[in-house]
Amino acid sequence: MNVGLVTLGCTKNQVDSEMILGAFKSQGFNIVNQVEDADIIVVNTCGFIQSAKEEAIDTILEMADYKEIGKCKALIVTGCLAKRYKSQIIESMPEVDLVIGVDEYENISEILSNFFNQKKLLNQYKFTQKLDFNNRVISSTYPLAYIRISDGCDNRCSYCAIPLIRGKFKSRKMEDILQEVEGLAKQGIKEFCIISQDTSKYGLDIYGELKLAELLKKMSQINGVKWIRILYMYLFETTDELIEEIGKNDKVCKYFDIPIQHLNDRLLKDMNRHDTKQIIFDRIQKIRQIVPEAILRTTCIVGFPGETEKEFEELLDGIKEIKFDRLGAFTYSREEDTKSYDFENQIDEDIKEKRLKKLFDVQKEISLEKNKQRLGKEYEVIIEDISEDEQYFVCRSMLEAPDVDGRIYVKIDEDSASKAIVGEYSLVKIIDYNEYDLFAQII
Ligand code: SF4
Protein backbone atom coordinates (compact mmCIF):
# COMPACT_ATOMS: atom_id res chain seq x y z
CA MET A 1 0.00 0.00 0.00
CA ASN A 2 1.13 3.52 -0.80
CA VAL A 3 1.15 6.20 1.91
CA GLY A 4 1.23 9.94 1.20
CA LEU A 5 1.54 12.55 3.93
CA VAL A 6 0.83 16.28 3.92
CA THR A 7 2.49 18.15 6.76
CA LEU A 8 1.19 21.51 7.95
CA GLY A 9 2.34 23.99 10.57
CA CYS A 10 5.69 24.24 12.24
CA THR A 11 8.91 22.26 12.13
CA LYS A 12 7.98 20.51 15.41
CA ASN A 13 5.08 18.97 13.51
CA GLN A 14 7.41 18.17 10.61
CA VAL A 15 9.48 15.98 12.95
CA ASP A 16 6.31 14.06 13.92
CA SER A 17 5.46 13.68 10.21
CA GLU A 18 8.90 12.23 9.52
CA MET A 19 8.49 9.74 12.37
CA ILE A 20 5.00 8.73 11.15
CA LEU A 21 6.43 8.11 7.68
CA GLY A 22 9.35 6.22 9.22
CA ALA A 23 6.93 3.90 11.05
CA PHE A 24 4.89 3.22 7.88
CA LYS A 25 8.06 2.61 5.87
CA SER A 26 9.48 0.11 8.38
CA GLN A 27 6.14 -1.64 8.35
CA GLY A 28 6.56 -2.25 4.61
CA PHE A 29 4.35 0.52 3.25
CA ASN A 30 5.53 2.43 0.21
CA ILE A 31 6.00 6.19 0.76
CA VAL A 32 4.85 8.33 -2.19
CA ASN A 33 5.26 12.04 -2.84
CA GLN A 34 2.16 12.41 -5.02
CA VAL A 35 -1.08 12.13 -3.04
CA GLU A 36 -2.97 10.95 -6.14
CA ASP A 37 -0.93 7.72 -5.95
CA ALA A 38 -1.63 7.15 -2.24
CA ASP A 39 -3.94 4.46 -0.85
CA ILE A 40 -3.65 6.09 2.56
CA ILE A 41 -3.40 9.85 2.95
CA VAL A 42 -2.27 11.32 6.26
CA VAL A 43 -2.81 15.04 6.94
CA ASN A 44 -0.67 16.12 9.89
CA THR A 45 -2.36 19.30 11.06
CA CYS A 46 -1.59 22.46 13.00
CA GLY A 47 -4.19 23.98 15.33
CA PHE A 48 -2.25 26.91 16.74
CA ILE A 49 -4.20 29.92 15.47
CA GLN A 50 -7.31 30.60 13.38
CA SER A 51 -5.50 30.82 10.03
CA ALA A 52 -3.73 27.49 10.69
CA LYS A 53 -7.02 25.81 11.57
CA GLU A 54 -8.61 27.09 8.36
CA GLU A 55 -5.66 25.86 6.31
CA ALA A 56 -5.93 22.43 7.98
CA ILE A 57 -9.65 22.12 7.25
CA ASP A 58 -9.18 23.20 3.61
CA THR A 59 -6.37 20.66 3.19
CA ILE A 60 -8.41 17.81 4.73
CA LEU A 61 -11.31 18.56 2.35
CA GLU A 62 -8.95 18.81 -0.60
CA MET A 63 -7.38 15.43 0.29
CA ALA A 64 -10.84 13.88 0.70
CA ASP A 65 -11.37 14.52 -3.03
CA TYR A 66 -8.71 11.88 -3.73
CA LYS A 67 -11.22 9.27 -2.62
CA GLU A 68 -13.05 10.18 -5.87
CA ILE A 69 -10.28 11.25 -8.21
CA GLY A 70 -7.38 9.17 -6.83
CA LYS A 71 -6.77 5.81 -5.18
CA CYS A 72 -7.36 6.94 -1.60
CA LYS A 73 -9.09 4.37 0.60
CA ALA A 74 -8.36 5.93 3.97
CA LEU A 75 -7.94 9.53 5.09
CA ILE A 76 -6.19 9.90 8.44
CA VAL A 77 -5.93 13.21 10.30
CA THR A 78 -3.17 13.58 12.91
CA GLY A 79 -1.48 16.39 14.81
CA CYS A 80 -2.46 19.43 16.83
CA LEU A 81 -5.88 20.13 15.27
CA ALA A 82 -6.70 16.44 15.74
CA LYS A 83 -5.91 16.78 19.45
CA ARG A 84 -7.70 20.07 19.96
CA TYR A 85 -10.87 19.35 17.97
CA LYS A 86 -11.05 15.56 17.75
CA SER A 87 -14.79 15.17 18.42
CA GLN A 88 -15.72 18.08 16.13
CA ILE A 89 -13.69 16.54 13.26
CA ILE A 90 -15.34 13.13 13.78
CA GLU A 91 -18.82 14.70 13.90
CA SER A 92 -18.56 17.22 11.09
CA MET A 93 -16.18 15.57 8.60
CA PRO A 94 -17.44 12.09 7.66
CA GLU A 95 -14.80 12.00 4.89
CA VAL A 96 -12.16 11.49 7.62
CA ASP A 97 -11.67 7.82 8.52
CA LEU A 98 -9.39 8.15 11.54
CA VAL A 99 -8.33 10.97 13.86
CA ILE A 100 -5.16 10.64 15.96
CA GLY A 101 -4.21 13.54 18.24
CA VAL A 102 -0.65 14.28 19.36
CA ASP A 103 -1.52 12.88 22.79
CA GLU A 104 -2.24 9.46 21.24
CA TYR A 105 1.05 8.93 19.39
CA GLU A 106 2.30 6.58 22.11
CA ASN A 107 -0.45 4.15 21.15
CA ILE A 108 -0.29 4.72 17.41
CA SER A 109 0.56 1.08 16.60
CA GLU A 110 -2.52 -0.31 18.40
CA ILE A 111 -4.72 2.44 16.91
CA LEU A 112 -3.53 1.67 13.36
CA SER A 113 -3.77 -2.12 13.84
CA ASN A 114 -7.39 -1.83 15.00
CA PHE A 115 -8.22 0.62 12.23
CA PHE A 116 -6.84 -1.54 9.39
CA ASN A 117 -8.62 -4.63 10.72
CA GLN A 118 -11.97 -2.95 11.42
CA LYS A 119 -11.98 -1.21 8.05
CA LYS A 120 -10.95 -4.51 6.42
CA LEU A 121 -8.22 -2.66 4.57
CA LEU A 122 -5.84 -5.35 5.80
CA ASN A 123 -6.86 -8.56 7.53
CA GLN A 124 -5.46 -9.78 10.86
CA TYR A 125 -2.91 -7.08 10.54
CA LYS A 126 -0.53 -5.99 13.28
CA PHE A 127 1.11 -2.57 13.03
CA THR A 128 4.05 -2.90 15.40
CA GLN A 129 6.22 0.14 14.70
CA LYS A 130 6.20 2.96 17.25
CA LEU A 131 7.12 6.57 16.50
CA ASP A 132 10.86 6.74 16.97
CA PHE A 133 13.28 9.65 16.62
CA ASN A 134 15.81 7.16 15.25
CA ASN A 135 13.47 6.12 12.48
CA ARG A 136 12.55 9.21 10.46
CA VAL A 137 12.04 9.75 6.76
CA ILE A 138 13.86 13.06 6.44
CA SER A 139 11.85 15.31 4.15
CA SER A 140 14.47 17.92 3.34
CA THR A 141 15.93 17.69 -0.16
CA TYR A 142 19.38 18.71 1.08
CA PRO A 143 21.33 17.55 4.18
CA LEU A 144 19.27 19.22 6.93
CA ALA A 145 17.33 17.80 9.87
CA TYR A 146 15.33 19.38 12.66
CA ILE A 147 16.10 18.01 16.11
CA ARG A 148 13.29 18.32 18.63
CA ILE A 149 14.90 18.43 22.07
CA SER A 150 11.73 18.85 24.12
CA ASP A 151 8.00 19.09 23.67
CA GLY A 152 5.21 20.99 25.41
CA CYS A 153 5.53 24.27 27.26
CA ASP A 154 5.22 25.52 30.84
CA ASN A 155 5.28 29.21 30.09
CA ARG A 156 1.52 29.63 29.75
CA CYS A 157 1.58 32.78 27.63
CA SER A 158 -1.98 34.04 27.93
CA TYR A 159 -2.66 34.03 24.17
CA CYS A 160 -1.20 30.63 23.37
CA ALA A 161 -3.00 27.32 22.89
CA ILE A 162 0.17 25.23 22.62
CA PRO A 163 0.27 24.06 26.26
CA LEU A 164 -3.37 22.89 25.85
CA ILE A 165 -2.34 20.87 22.81
CA ARG A 166 1.16 19.67 23.59
CA GLY A 167 0.98 19.58 27.40
CA LYS A 168 3.70 20.30 29.91
CA PHE A 169 7.35 20.93 29.01
CA LYS A 170 9.24 17.64 28.67
CA SER A 171 12.92 17.48 27.76
CA ARG A 172 14.35 14.46 26.00
CA LYS A 173 17.33 12.78 27.62
CA MET A 174 20.60 14.17 26.33
CA GLU A 175 21.98 10.73 25.40
CA ASP A 176 18.86 10.05 23.26
CA ILE A 177 19.27 13.33 21.38
CA LEU A 178 22.97 12.66 20.80
CA GLN A 179 22.18 9.16 19.54
CA GLU A 180 19.65 10.61 17.08
CA VAL A 181 22.14 13.23 15.85
CA GLU A 182 24.86 10.61 15.45
CA GLY A 183 22.56 8.39 13.40
CA LEU A 184 21.53 11.26 11.13
CA ALA A 185 25.13 12.43 10.72
CA LYS A 186 26.04 8.91 9.60
CA GLN A 187 23.28 9.16 6.99
CA GLY A 188 24.95 12.32 5.64
CA ILE A 189 22.93 15.04 7.40
CA LYS A 190 25.20 18.06 7.99
CA GLU A 191 22.95 20.84 9.30
CA PHE A 192 21.00 20.41 12.53
CA CYS A 193 18.33 22.86 13.65
CA ILE A 194 17.45 22.52 17.31
CA ILE A 195 13.76 23.14 17.93
CA SER A 196 11.10 22.91 20.63
CA GLN A 197 8.54 25.30 22.07
CA ASP A 198 11.20 26.72 24.39
CA THR A 199 14.71 25.53 23.52
CA SER A 200 16.52 27.63 26.14
CA LYS A 201 14.70 25.77 28.94
CA TYR A 202 16.23 22.47 27.83
CA GLY A 203 17.14 20.18 30.72
CA LEU A 204 15.57 22.12 33.60
CA ASP A 205 12.76 19.61 34.13
CA ILE A 206 14.86 16.43 34.06
CA TYR A 207 18.30 17.60 35.20
CA GLY A 208 17.31 20.49 37.49
CA GLU A 209 19.45 22.93 35.47
CA LEU A 210 19.62 24.52 32.01
CA LYS A 211 21.61 22.21 29.73
CA LEU A 212 21.45 23.66 26.22
CA ALA A 213 25.07 24.89 26.30
CA GLU A 214 26.28 21.40 27.25
CA LEU A 215 24.12 19.81 24.55
CA LEU A 216 25.65 22.14 21.93
CA LYS A 217 29.15 21.24 23.06
CA LYS A 218 28.45 17.51 22.84
CA MET A 219 26.57 17.72 19.53
CA SER A 220 29.42 19.62 17.94
CA GLN A 221 31.85 16.80 18.80
CA ILE A 222 29.91 14.30 16.68
CA ASN A 223 31.61 13.40 13.40
CA GLY A 224 29.87 14.84 10.36
CA VAL A 225 28.00 17.63 12.18
CA LYS A 226 28.73 20.85 10.28
CA TRP A 227 26.20 23.50 11.35
CA ILE A 228 24.04 23.62 14.48
CA ARG A 229 21.34 26.28 14.72
CA ILE A 230 19.11 26.98 17.72
CA LEU A 231 15.59 28.26 17.16
CA TYR A 232 12.94 29.59 19.63
CA MET A 233 15.04 30.82 22.56
CA TYR A 234 13.43 32.70 25.41
CA LEU A 235 15.62 35.65 26.45
CA PHE A 236 15.31 35.35 30.23
CA GLU A 237 16.75 31.82 29.97
CA THR A 238 19.45 32.78 27.46
CA THR A 239 22.28 32.67 29.97
CA ASP A 240 25.79 34.09 29.59
CA GLU A 241 27.08 30.51 29.48
CA LEU A 242 24.82 29.73 26.50
CA ILE A 243 25.74 32.94 24.65
CA GLU A 244 29.44 32.22 25.22
CA GLU A 245 29.11 28.66 23.90
CA ILE A 246 27.33 29.95 20.78
CA GLY A 247 30.05 32.57 20.36
CA LYS A 248 33.05 30.27 20.66
CA ASN A 249 31.78 27.05 19.07
CA ASP A 250 32.66 27.11 15.34
CA LYS A 251 29.90 24.69 14.44
CA VAL A 252 27.13 26.73 16.08
CA CYS A 253 25.50 29.36 13.88
CA LYS A 254 25.83 32.88 15.26
CA TYR A 255 22.08 33.14 15.02
CA PHE A 256 19.72 34.11 17.83
CA ASP A 257 16.05 33.40 17.27
CA ILE A 258 14.52 35.24 20.22
CA PRO A 259 10.77 35.91 20.03
CA ILE A 260 10.05 38.97 22.21
CA GLN A 261 6.35 39.49 21.28
CA HIS A 262 6.30 43.09 22.60
CA LEU A 263 8.32 45.79 24.31
CA ASN A 264 5.72 47.33 26.62
CA ASP A 265 5.89 45.99 30.18
CA ARG A 266 2.15 46.16 30.86
CA LEU A 267 1.41 44.12 27.73
CA LEU A 268 4.25 41.67 28.39
CA LYS A 269 2.73 41.09 31.84
CA ASP A 270 -0.77 40.63 30.39
CA MET A 271 0.71 38.20 27.88
CA ASN A 272 2.25 36.39 30.86
CA ARG A 273 5.67 36.63 29.27
CA HIS A 274 8.56 36.27 31.69
CA ASP A 275 10.73 38.82 29.90
CA THR A 276 10.48 42.52 30.68
CA LYS A 277 11.64 45.36 28.44
CA GLN A 278 14.72 45.67 30.65
CA ILE A 279 15.57 41.96 30.40
CA ILE A 280 15.12 42.08 26.62
CA PHE A 281 17.42 45.09 26.20
CA ASP A 282 20.02 43.73 28.65
CA ARG A 283 20.19 40.26 27.10
CA ILE A 284 20.45 41.67 23.57
CA GLN A 285 23.27 43.95 24.65
CA LYS A 286 25.02 40.93 26.15
CA ILE A 287 24.57 38.89 22.96
CA ARG A 288 26.02 41.70 20.84
CA GLN A 289 28.89 42.20 23.27
CA ILE A 290 29.88 38.50 23.31
CA VAL A 291 28.98 37.64 19.68
CA PRO A 292 29.34 40.89 17.69
CA GLU A 293 28.60 39.17 14.37
CA ALA A 294 25.32 37.68 15.68
CA ILE A 295 22.20 37.78 13.55
CA LEU A 296 19.10 38.50 15.62
CA ARG A 297 15.64 37.35 14.62
CA THR A 298 12.45 38.01 16.55
CA THR A 299 8.68 37.84 16.34
CA CYS A 300 6.11 40.33 17.63
CA ILE A 301 2.37 40.33 18.19
CA VAL A 302 0.41 43.50 17.41
CA GLY A 303 -3.14 44.23 18.51
CA PHE A 304 -3.05 42.25 21.77
CA PRO A 305 -6.18 43.11 23.84
CA GLY A 306 -5.89 46.58 25.34
CA GLU A 307 -2.84 47.63 23.28
CA THR A 308 -3.07 51.42 23.07
CA GLU A 309 -1.59 53.52 20.29
CA LYS A 310 1.05 54.73 22.75
CA GLU A 311 2.02 51.18 23.72
CA PHE A 312 2.24 50.21 20.06
CA GLU A 313 4.48 53.25 19.44
CA GLU A 314 6.71 52.01 22.29
CA LEU A 315 7.11 48.74 20.41
CA LEU A 316 7.97 50.59 17.19
CA ASP A 317 10.52 52.81 18.95
CA GLY A 318 12.15 49.78 20.57
CA ILE A 319 12.36 47.96 17.25
CA LYS A 320 14.04 51.03 15.69
CA GLU A 321 16.51 51.11 18.57
CA ILE A 322 17.36 47.40 18.73
CA LYS A 323 17.42 46.89 14.94
CA PHE A 324 16.76 43.16 14.67
CA ASP A 325 18.20 41.72 11.47
CA ARG A 326 14.96 39.83 10.82
CA LEU A 327 11.48 40.23 12.22
CA GLY A 328 8.29 38.25 11.82
CA ALA A 329 5.06 39.80 13.09
CA PHE A 330 1.49 38.64 13.56
CA THR A 331 -1.81 40.19 14.46
CA TYR A 332 -3.20 38.83 17.74
CA SER A 333 -5.41 35.78 17.15
CA ARG A 334 -8.17 35.31 19.75
CA GLU A 335 -8.02 31.62 20.61
CA GLU A 336 -10.75 29.88 22.58
CA ASP A 337 -9.74 28.31 25.89
CA THR A 338 -6.80 30.68 26.27
CA LYS A 339 -6.70 33.25 29.07
CA SER A 340 -6.62 36.31 26.83
CA TYR A 341 -9.75 35.16 24.96
CA ASP A 342 -11.80 36.78 27.73
CA PHE A 343 -9.71 39.93 28.03
CA GLU A 344 -11.56 43.19 27.56
CA ASN A 345 -10.72 45.72 24.88
CA GLN A 346 -10.17 43.33 22.01
CA ILE A 347 -8.74 45.37 19.13
CA ASP A 348 -10.54 45.77 15.78
CA GLU A 349 -9.06 43.75 12.94
CA ASP A 350 -8.48 46.81 10.74
CA ILE A 351 -6.47 48.52 13.50
CA LYS A 352 -4.41 45.35 13.98
CA GLU A 353 -3.71 45.21 10.24
CA LYS A 354 -2.68 48.90 10.13
CA ARG A 355 -0.28 48.36 13.04
CA LEU A 356 1.16 45.26 11.39
CA LYS A 357 1.83 47.19 8.19
CA LYS A 358 3.46 50.04 10.12
CA LEU A 359 5.74 47.57 11.92
CA PHE A 360 6.70 45.85 8.68
CA ASP A 361 7.45 49.22 7.05
CA VAL A 362 9.83 50.08 9.89
CA GLN A 363 11.49 46.66 9.68
CA LYS A 364 11.91 46.85 5.89
CA GLU A 365 14.20 49.89 6.27
CA ILE A 366 16.20 48.11 8.99
CA SER A 367 16.54 44.88 6.99
CA LEU A 368 17.68 46.84 3.94
CA GLU A 369 20.36 48.58 6.00
CA LYS A 370 21.43 45.25 7.54
CA ASN A 371 21.66 43.53 4.17
CA LYS A 372 23.70 46.44 2.78
CA GLN A 373 26.29 45.82 5.52
CA ARG A 374 26.88 42.36 4.07
CA LEU A 375 28.00 43.65 0.65
CA GLY A 376 31.43 42.33 -0.28
CA LYS A 377 31.47 39.73 2.51
CA GLU A 378 32.25 36.10 1.79
CA TYR A 379 30.28 33.12 3.09
CA GLU A 380 30.17 29.38 2.82
CA VAL A 381 26.66 28.50 1.62
CA ILE A 382 24.58 25.39 1.16
CA ILE A 383 23.11 25.29 -2.35
CA GLU A 384 19.54 24.32 -1.55
CA ASP A 385 17.86 24.36 -4.91
CA ILE A 386 17.35 26.03 -8.27
CA SER A 387 14.81 28.87 -8.42
CA GLU A 388 11.43 28.26 -10.08
CA ASP A 389 12.39 30.44 -13.06
CA GLU A 390 15.62 28.40 -13.31
CA GLN A 391 17.71 31.59 -13.31
CA TYR A 392 19.39 31.22 -9.90
CA PHE A 393 20.95 28.80 -7.46
CA VAL A 394 19.09 29.28 -4.15
CA CYS A 395 21.61 29.32 -1.31
CA ARG A 396 21.81 29.96 2.40
CA SER A 397 24.72 30.66 4.77
CA MET A 398 25.08 29.96 8.50
CA LEU A 399 23.31 33.28 9.05
CA GLU A 400 20.05 32.32 7.30
CA ALA A 401 17.63 29.85 8.87
CA PRO A 402 15.81 27.45 6.53
CA ASP A 403 12.15 28.15 5.74
CA VAL A 404 11.85 31.52 7.48
CA ASP A 405 14.66 33.78 6.25
CA GLY A 406 15.59 35.36 2.93
CA ARG A 407 18.04 33.57 0.66
CA ILE A 408 21.32 34.19 -1.17
CA TYR A 409 20.81 33.95 -4.93
CA VAL A 410 23.59 33.08 -7.36
CA LYS A 411 22.89 33.71 -11.05
CA ILE A 412 23.20 30.55 -13.11
CA ASP A 413 25.77 31.05 -15.88
CA GLU A 414 28.52 28.99 -17.41
CA ASP A 415 30.94 29.76 -14.60
CA SER A 416 28.58 29.12 -11.63
CA ALA A 417 27.07 26.06 -13.30
CA SER A 418 30.53 24.51 -13.57
CA LYS A 419 31.22 25.06 -9.86
CA ALA A 420 27.89 24.66 -8.02
CA ILE A 421 26.08 21.44 -7.19
CA VAL A 422 22.67 21.41 -5.52
CA GLY A 423 22.94 19.85 -2.05
CA GLU A 424 26.63 20.77 -1.71
CA TYR A 425 28.45 23.68 -0.12
CA SER A 426 30.25 26.48 -1.93
CA LEU A 427 32.00 29.80 -1.21
CA VAL A 428 30.28 32.99 -2.39
CA LYS A 429 30.78 36.77 -2.25
CA ILE A 430 27.79 39.10 -1.77
CA ILE A 431 27.41 41.53 -4.70
CA ASP A 432 23.86 42.93 -4.33
CA TYR A 433 20.89 43.02 -1.94
CA ASN A 434 17.32 44.05 -1.35
CA GLU A 435 15.34 44.12 1.92
CA TYR A 436 14.72 40.35 1.87
CA ASP A 437 17.44 38.64 -0.12
CA LEU A 438 21.10 38.82 -1.04
CA PHE A 439 22.74 38.18 -4.41
CA ALA A 440 26.18 36.65 -4.75
CA GLN A 441 28.76 35.15 -7.06
CA ILE A 442 30.72 31.97 -6.53
CA ILE A 443 34.39 32.53 -5.70
S1 SF4 B 1 6.53 30.17 25.14
FE2 SF4 B 1 4.47 31.01 25.20
S3 SF4 B 1 4.00 31.31 23.01
FE4 SF4 B 1 5.69 29.88 23.07
S5 SF4 B 1 4.71 27.83 23.06
FE6 SF4 B 1 5.08 28.41 25.22
S7 SF4 B 1 3.14 29.29 25.87
FE8 SF4 B 1 3.12 29.30 23.61
The predicted pLDDT at position 151 comes to 95
Contact 263, 313 (CB under 8 A): no
At a CB cut-off of 8 Å and minimum separation 6, what does 9 contact? 44, 45, 46, 48, 52, 56, 79, 80
Report CA(156)–ligand 1 centroid distance (Å): 6
Tell me: do 323 and 391 sit in the same domain: no
Residue 151 lies in a domain: yes
Which of 355, 372, 389 is the endpoint of a domain? Answer: 372
CATH code where residue 428 lies: 2.40.50.140
Query: Rounded to whole angstroms, how far apart are CA atoms 72 and 40?
Result: 6
Sign for the CA dihedral angle at 380, 385, 388, 392 comes to positive
Tell me: do 76 and 225 sit in the same domain: no
Establish whether residue 366 lines the binding site of ligand 1, counting it when its CB lies within 6 angstroms of any ligand atom: no
Establish whether residue 428 lines the binding site of ligand 1, counting it when its CB lies within 6 angstroms of any ligand atom: no
Tell me: do 100 and 157 sit in the same domain: no
Tell me: do 321 and 424 sit in the same domain: no
Tell me: do 190 and 87 sit in the same domain: no
Tell me: do 248 and 395 sit in the same domain: no
Tell me: do 303 and 432 sit in the same domain: no
Report CA(153)–ligand 1 centroid distance (Å): 6
The predicted pLDDT at position 141 comes to 86
Report CA(10)–ligand 1 centroid distance (Å): 13
Domain extent, residue 432, equals 378-442
Query: Which amino acid residue places its CA nearest to atom 4 of ligand 1?
Result: 197
Residue 148 lies in a domain: yes
Residue 44: Cβ within 10 Å count: 27
Tell me: do 45 and 177 sit in the same domain: no
Residue 134 lies in a domain: no
CATH code where residue 96 lies: 3.40.50.12160
Which of 194, 183, 202 has its CA nearest to residue 229? 194
Tell me: do 218 and 302 sit in the same domain: yes
Residue 113 lies in a domain: yes
Residue 157 lies in a domain: yes
Query: Which amino acid residue places its CA nearest to atom 5 of ligand 1?
Result: 197
Residue 164 lies in a domain: yes
Which of 349, 372, 395 is the endpoint of a domain? Answer: 372
HEC readout, 89-100: HHHHCCCCCEEE
Establish whether residue 260 lines the binding site of ligand 1, counting it when its CB lies within 6 angstroms of any ligand atom: no
Report CA(406)–ligand 1 centroid distance (Å): 25
Count up the domains in the chain and report the number.
3
* Helix 212-220 with 174-186: angle, nearest 10 deg: 30
Residue 25 lies in a domain: yes
For the chain, list residues with pLDDT below 50.
none
b/e sequence 363-398, b meaning 16+ C-beta within 10 Å? beebbeebbeebeeeebebbbbbeeeeeebbbbbbb
Tell me: do 367 and 415 sit in the same domain: no
Query: Rounded to whole angstroms, how far apart are CA atoms 212 and 196?
Result: 12
CA distances in angstroms from 308 to 275, 347, 355, listed in the order given: 20, 9, 11
Which of 372, 392, 410 is the endpoint of a domain? Answer: 372
- Dihedral, CA of residue 55, residue 59, residue 62 and residue 67, to nearest 10: -160
Tell me: do 342 and 316 sit in the same domain: yes
The predicted pLDDT at position 119 comes to 83
User: How are beta strands 191-195 and 144-148 bridged, if at all?
Assistant: parallel
Report CA(162)–ligand 1 centroid distance (Å): 6
The predicted pLDDT at position 122 comes to 80
Report CA(161)–ligand 1 centroid distance (Å): 8
Establish whether residue 162 lines the binding site of ligand 1, counting it when its CB lies within 6 angstroms of any ligand atom: yes
Report CA(152)–ligand 1 centroid distance (Å): 9
- Dihedral, CA of residue 161, residue 164, residue 167 and residue 169, to nearest 10: 30
At a CB cut-off of 8 Å and minimum separation 6, what does 348 contact? none
Tell me: do 226 and 361 sit in the same domain: yes
Among 48, 84, 151, 160, the mutation site with the greatest number of ligand 1 atoms within 8 A of its Cβ is 160
Residue 138 lies in a domain: no
CA distances in angstroms from 196 to 7, 60, 202, 230, listed in the order given: 17, 26, 9, 9
Among 150, 154, 162, the mutation site with the greatest number of ligand 1 atoms within 8 A of its Cβ is 162
Q: Which amino acid is at 19?
A: M
Report the predicted TM-score, pTM, of the whole model to 2 decimal places.
0.93
